[in-house]
Amino acid sequence: MLDERALSGTESPTTNSAALPKRVTTTGQTKTALQRIAEQADEHIDLGEAALLFAALDSPTSDVSFYRDHLTAIADMVGDYATQKDFGDTPAPEQMADALNESLVRHFHYAGDDETYDDLDNANLMRVIDRRRGLPVALGILYLTAARAQGWAVAGLNFPGHFLIRIESRDGRRIIVDPFHEGRIMDAPALRELLKIVAGSGVELEATHYRTVSNRDVLIRLQNNVKTRRLDKGLFKDAVDAVENMLLLAPESLSLWREAGVLHMRTGHLKRAIESFEKFVSFAQDGPDRTKIAKVIHELRERIN
């Protein structure tokens, strides 16, 4: 019931939707906007904007500006609450979590979707906003976007199987928040319990589980949920689309080019499979994997001829 992967940059993005089209009306415009985001330094990527553009690829008739306005409303409420409570310039991490939960949970009523966890809508940020339900990573993007709008230091964590957020105050104090379960603060016992649920009873907490990860990885994790759910439904062509959408953001990813090639083979698009595998070979270092894929390319060319 729990899956995904996580983030690093803690700065408020300096390049956001203001540098992108205010209204994207075609798939081509949306992909161009995503490619422009991909060119940015990781810490400047606006997670909310990028996630909305990915959602727009699956919902081309939706008005992106409506959802951008909603993200702004969430962030504004967080800021207003912090001001009303007089948090000052150096709020404690617990205060930041309280302000985020006041807006997202208590006012807008966001929550994790336990009942229909595998629904594709849970990984589409537009549908998450419509339904106020979603996956941990989708809800996490809402938390991260709202917190960064305040200039707060927040990051996603490399926790297995379930997206979590770290909030850090200026004096270095940290807490971990679970966006799927109403923004609850996770102490060590709660983390151990969650880890055993998602990774097995024999797994213990280790330092890597607290490591922050990149903005690109947050978005790849979100889209990977789309791909996985499409594969589970046997929608292989749509799964290929999800992988190629991820490649807009990570055009040199070996694993994604390999996966695109495999999926193109499964759908009978051998020329597209060759093109994807050739990309893999062009980026891969010499070794057994590169040799194996080069052999597959040769075999596919013989099948076509």
- The Cα–Cα gap between 71 and 90 comes to 23
Position 179: which residue type?
P
> Tell me, what amino acid is at 235?
L
Q: Which of 35, 9, 25, 50 is nearest to 222 (CA)?
A: 50
Of 19-33, 181-195, 267-281, 290-304, give the lowest mean pLDDT range.
19-33
Give the confidence band of 43 by pLDDT, cuts at 50, 70, 90: very high
How would residue 23 be classed by pLDDT, with cut points 50, 70 and 90?
low
**pLDDT band, very low/low/confident/very high, at 20 (cuts 50, 70, 90):** very low
Spatial separation of the C-alpha atoms in residues 195 and 191, rounded to whole Å:
6
- 158 confidence band (pLDDT: 50, 70, 90): confident
Mean pLDDT of 9-31: 56
Pick the more confident residue, 208 or 281.
281
Mean pLDDT of the chain: 91
Residues 97-150 have pLDDT tens digits of 999 999 999 999 999 999 999 999 999 999 999 999 999 999 999 999 999 999
pLDDT at 22: 53
Q: What is the Cα gyration radius of the chain?
A: 20
Q: Is 50 exceeded by the pLDDT of residue 4?
A: no
Q: Is 88 left (phi over 0), alpha (psi -120 to 50) or beta?
A: left
Three-state DSSP state, 167: strand
CB of 272 within 8 A of CB of 264? yes
Contact between 141 and 222 under an 8 Å Cβ cutoff? The reply is yes
Selected residue with higher pLDDT from 3 and 200: 200
**pLDDT value at 8 more than 80:** no
| Structure-derived torsion over alpha carbons of residues 271, 276, 277, 283, reported in degrees to the nearest 10 | 150
Domains of the chain (ranges, CATH numbers): 17-215 (no CATH), 252-304 (1.20.58)
Question: Considering the chain, what percentage of its residues have pLDDT values greater than 70?
Answer: 92
25 pLDDT band, cuts 50/70/90, is: low
Q: What percent of the chain has pLDDT over 90?
A: 83
CA gap 77, 102 in Å, rounded? 8
Measured at the CA of 258, the angle between CA 254 and CA 259, to 5 degrees, comes to 115
Lowest mean pLDDT among 22-26, 166-170, 218-222: 22-26
User: Quick one: which H or E segment has residue 184?
Assistant: strand 184-185
Q: What is the DSSP string of 240-293?
A: HHHHHHHHHH-TT-HHHHHHHHHHHHHTT-HHHHHHHHHHHHHHSPSSHHHHHH
Residue pair 112/180 in contact (Cβ under 8 Å)? The answer is: yes
Confidence class of residue 10 from pLDDT cuts 50, 70 and 90? very low
